[in-house]
A and B are shown apart, each in its own frame.
Chain A
Amino acid sequence: MPLLRQFSTTYIRSKSIIVASIIVAVLSLMPCFAHLFIIRVSIRALIYAIFAMSWDLLYGYAGLISFGHALFFGLGAYTCAILNTLFDLPPWGCILIAPCISTLAGLIISIPCLRLKEAYLALGTLAFAEIVRYLAIHFRELTGAEEGIRGIQVFSENILFNYYLYLIITLVCTTMLLLVVKSSFGLKLIAIREDEELSKACGINTSKYKISAFLLSSFIAGMSGGLYAHFTGIVEASIFSSTVSFMAVSMTIIGGLGTIIGPIVGSYLITFISEILRATLDIRLLVYSLTLVLVLLFIPEGIIARVRRLYRVGREK
């Protein structure tokens, strides 16, 4: 029996490796058959996927809800924008520094936020993001106020090069996060989400783990922000707005909370729908909300979890 079980888990594992390889293959071969517009939208989807994954780590695993995640995204983007346009640092250098600045912000914010839970934590993080948005508008010499910063360098003029670069970064982030959540560290984060008091009784230093989750999440969010700045070339103060935070929230919930892969699916879905609609009407917010409501009504566990369940049911039959 144990041998059989071992065989079946290896079998499932190899199955998911096959599925993952197919997806990666499709994504890497996409430039061969897809229109340039699709490639551009895909890059956007990859950026938001990384951003949404960082939110998923925080809420889907550690149970820490942030409604101000745009703060880390925006800070990463502004760091790149300022370093690149004012100090002429090349994109490669900027993208290394941006996540560190976001992580620093994550550290500063996580300490007062440790005492907050659920709705209070959501509001606390939202308030921090609003403060930073105000600061971004206020310090106009550095940030260009509402108009923001323009003319940020892109990584390369070659769109295909950019696509593959962003794809590789996304894959590296995904693999890293999957390894993290499967590790003992990830297990402890889940334990804290499930029951914080019991986690303490099990010898887990909950403050340390919660701060670590915040740091890792803000690092990744900061990097996605930097990638955004070096792709669009423009950063505006509206990047700190709650709309951007809720984008990560809705993408994760649509794709599947606590799955890491889910946010990628959610990001592709939302980004493609809203980019296609953008040409006719600016009704992106309506699209997020509508998709979110539909998912919550019909597949509350998210797309990925539903697909996995259907697959499992099909196999048992």
Chain B
Amino acid sequence: MKVLEVKGISKSFGGLIAVNDVSFHVLEKEILGVIGPNGAGKTTLFNLITGFLKPDRGTINFRGIELTRLRPHQIAQLGIVRTFQLVKSFPNMTVFENVLISSLSNRNIHSREQAEKKAIEVLKLLGLLNLKDRLSKNLSHGELKRLEIARALSMDPRLLLLDEPLAGLSYDEMNDILNIIQELRELGISIIIIEHTIRVLMKIVDRVIVMHYGKKIADGPPEEIVSNRKVIEAYLGE
């Protein structure tokens, strides 16, 4: 079953076409990788799905709901949750409060007690419980990356959009995150991951789409993508 269906979306900034007539879909429990060189339009694509930008053309459908008409917080409340490429947090709030903020907007949660319980549960899952009273501005980069995922999870996402979740992480930290992502799939969450290269995603993604200058140039299982001529050209030049 298709969870998300994007049809012919375009977005331009002035003369620059950042996303050009892109269509794709995400299935239930699927992990979709989005790769492409810098400036290919990957993050713009996320901003369009999550309502931070409005597309010039095209439709985005999530389980029968048209997203292009909704505002970012409404989309988040539906369970479409994103993380940011440059890791974001509420710096002067504790780790616990950082997660509580989003669990308060969880569509299944209706009281402060439930939200607090959820926050603790998620912090435990990501091994951040011992840091819960620390201000998030005092966390390391790797811890912040985990906090971002914790915050996303506290909203019980149905579709999770991860923007370069592995950027700047050590080998061990990277493996931790990849394991967590795989566990999330077991929970029935569909996931879209942006990365620069396909290498790190090979093991976990079901399918990959490749973006280049705002266009989708390939869509298929990872084994097929690595041998695709167009993709190799995009990365290495003709």
A interface residues with partner B (beta carbon < 8 Å): 184, 187-188, 190-191, 194-195, 197-206
Closest A residue to B161 by beta carbon equals: A201
Partner of B84, one of A187, A191, A198, A199: A198
- In angstroms, Cα B230 to Cα A280, docked, is 84
A188 touching B101 in the complex, CB below 8 Å, given contacts A194-B92, A195-B90, A200-B73: yes
Cβ–Cβ < 8 Å partners of A194 in chain B: 90-93
Residues of A within 8 A of B88 (CB): 195, 197-198, 201
Chain B residues within 8 Å of A197, by CB: 52, 84, 88
Find chain B residues with CB under 8 A from A200 CB.
Answer: 52, 71-73, 76
Q: How long is the Cα–Cα vector from A202 to B148 in the complex, in angstroms?
A: 11
B149 at the A interface (CB under 8 A): no
B residues with a Cβ closer than 8 A to A are 50, 52, 71-74, 76-77, 81-82, 84, 88-93, 97, 100-102, 104-106, 112, 115, 151, 155
Smallest CB separation, A89 vs chain B (Å): 41
Chain A minimum-CB-distance residue to B81: A201
Give me 21 A-to-B residue pairs in the complex whose CB atoms sit less than 8 angstroms apart, sorted by A's number. A187-B97, A188-B101, A194-B91, A194-B92, A195-B88, A195-B89, A197-B52, A198-B88, A198-B90, A199-B73, A199-B101, A200-B73, A201-B81, A202-B73, A202-B76, A202-B101, A202-B105, A202-B151, A203-B105, A203-B106, A205-B74
Knowing that A197-B88, A198-B89 are A-B contacts, what are 6 other residue pairs whose CB atoms are under 8 Å apart, sorted by A's residue number?
Answer: A184-B112, A187-B101, A191-B90, A202-B155, A203-B73, A203-B105
Cβ contact within 8 Å between B93 and A190? yes
Question: Complex Cα distance A190/B98, Å?
Answer: 11
Given contacts A187-B100, A198-B84, contact A204 B105 (CB under 8 A): yes
Classify the secondary structure of A's interface with B: helix
> In whole angstroms, how far apart are the Cα atoms of A201 and B47 in the complex?
10
Inside 8 A of B102's CB, which chain A residues have their CB?
202-203
Which residues on A sit within 8 Å (CB–CB) of B104?
184, 187-188
* Chain B residue contacts of A202, Cβ below 8 A: 73, 76, 101-102, 105, 151, 155
Select one of A184, A190, A195, A205 contacting B73, CB under 8 A: A205
Closest to A258 in B: B92
Residue of B nearest to A185 (CB): B104
Nearest neighbor of B72 in chain A, beta-carbon distance: A200
Q: Which residues of B contact A184 (CB under 8 A)?
A: 104, 112, 115
Closest residue of chain B to A200 (Cβ to Cβ) is B72
Cα separation A200 to B106 with both chains bound (whole Å) = 13
- The answer to whether B76 and A201 touch across the interface, beta carbons within 8 angstroms, is yes
Give the residue name and chain of the B residue nearest to A191 (CB).
B101
Contact in complex: B72, A201 (CB < 8 Å)? yes
Distance in Å from the Cβ of B51 to the closest Cβ of chain A?
8
Do residues A204 and B73 form an inter-chain contact, with CB atoms below 8 A? yes
Cα–Cα, bound, A200→B92 (Å): 17
The winner among A188, A191, A201, A206 for most chain B CB atoms within 10 A is: A201
Complexed CA–CA distance, A194 and B100 (Å): 15
* Distance in angstroms between the alpha carbons of A190 and B93 in the assembled complex: 8
Q: Which residues of A sit under 8 angstroms from B81, Cβ to Cβ?
A: 201
Which residues on A sit within 8 Å (CB–CB) of B112?
184
CA distance A267 to B155 in the complex (A): 42
Distance in Å: Cβ of B53 to nearest Cβ of chain A? 12
Give the complex CA separation of A191 and B155 in angstroms. 16
Q: In angstroms, how far is the closest chain A Cβ from the Cβ of B163?
A: 11
6 residue pairs, one from A and one from B, having the closest CB atoms: A203-B105, A194-B90, A203-B76, A202-B102, A200-B72, A203-B77
Q: Bound state CA distance, A55 and B227, in angstroms?
A: 62
Q: A201–B84 contact, CB under 8 A? A: yes
- Alpha-carbon distance between A190 and B90 when the two chains are bound, in angstroms: 9
Q: Chain A residues near B71: list those with CB within 8 A.
A: 200, 205
Q: Choose from B74, B93, B115 the contact partner of A191 (Cβ within 8 Å).
A: B93
Residue of B nearest to A206 (CB): B73
Alpha-carbon separation in the docked complex, A188 to B93 (Å): 11
Q: How far is the CB of A191 from chain B (nearest CB, A)?
A: 5
The residue that B82 contacts in the complex, of A187, A199, A201, with Cβ under 8 A, is A201
List, in ascending order, chain B residues with CB within 8 A of A199's CB.
73, 101
A residues in contact with B151, CB < 8 Å: 202
A206–B76 Cα distance when bound, in Å, is 13
Chain B residue at minimal CB-CB distance from A205: B73
